[in-house]
Each structure stands twice: as structure tokens, then as C-alpha cells.
Amino acid sequence: MTETSGKKQLLHLVFGGELENLQNVQFRDLNKLDIVGMYPDYASALTAWKSKAQQTVDNAHMRYFIVHLHRLLDPQEKA
């Protein structure tokens, strides 16, 4: 995925997996994590997150997350 519109690229990672219980974020099997993908902005990541979350709505232990990688790469950035 390349960004050609001139907007600043703010990387986001979408991933998920089955939790051991609903009180903590502890995955049952790290080898079975679903890495959905990397996205150039929050809106794209949110669309992917919603799609995956909807596909797994019948499994209460399945959770998907959006990680703001741009904040980890540049902690001084305010966006």
C-alpha cells in the first residue's frame, strides 16, 4: 500500500486473536494471531478492524486491535 496523496503517513497495525478470558488481553495461542495488515492512516485501519471484528462476532473471546505504530516510531509526534 503506498500513499501518494501527499498526506503524512501514520502507520497503524490491525491484528487479533482469541483471548484466554474476557478480563485480560492474554492470547490463548500466539502462533494463531491474525495479522490483518498495516495501514497508512487510522481511517483505513478502522475499516479493516470493523470488517474482521464483524466476521468473528460469534466468538466472544476473539478480539481485534488497532496499534498506532506511528506513535511508537515517533513518540514526540502529537497526531
Q: Which domains does the chain have, with CATH numbers?
A: 12-73 (3.30.70.2400)
> Which among 5-14, 55-64, 66-75 has the top mean pLDDT?
55-64
**pLDDT at res. 5:** 61
d(CA 70, CA 5): 18
Dihedral sign computed on CA atoms, order 60, 48, 40, 32: positive
Grade residue 4 by pLDDT with cuts at 50, 70 and 90: low
Selected residue with higher pLDDT from 79 and 26 = 26
Number of helical H runs and strand E runs in the chain: 2, 3
Average pLDDT over residues 43-64: 95
**pLDDT at res. 1:** 47
**pLDDT at res. 9:** 86
Strand order in the sheet with 12-18: 34-39, 12-18, 62-67
> DSSP of 26-39, one letter per residue?
-BS-GGG-EEEEEE
